[in-house]
Amino acid sequence: MRQQVRIPLPDGGALAATMALPEGAAPVAGWPGVVVVHEIYGVEPDILDVVDLFAEHGYAAVLPDLYSHGTRAGCLARVRPRPPGSGRRVAAHLRLLDEHVANRG
């Protein structure tokens, strides 16, 4: 069953979220859980169906509305395209991490 919840944020605000739990009593250790992330357009009916599907398969699922804190335009501005070359910098950093792990042995 789907329900609306609030996720507290460090600044005192909160994200609106949709949570779905499997039917029946929870196991002693609790339900395994997943966080479902919506597309850039926000929470749409199809992603709510995904939340329900996880619950039907035995998972507690939560879908935070990432646009619910602040303005949608402000949130979208934060996901603007990265500057040219940023992908190369990330790849170079990952190569350094691989080398570090390989040399630890």
Q: Over pLDDT 70: what percentage of the chain?
A: 70
CATH architecture of 2-80: 3-Layer(aba) Sandwich (3.40)
Q: Rounded to whole angstroms, how far apart are CA atoms 67 and 16?
A: 9
pLDDT digit string, tens, across residues 60-99? 999 999 888 876 665 555 555 555 555 566 566 667 766 7
Phi and psi based region of residue 76 (left: phi greater than 0; alpha: psi -120 to 50; beta: remaining)? alpha
- Under DSSP, the state recorded for 15 is E
- What confidence tier does 34 reach under pLDDT thresholds 50, 70, 90? very high
- Under DSSP, the state recorded for 4 is E
**Which pLDDT does position 9 carry in this prediction?**
86
Predicted TM-score (pTM) of this structure: 0.67
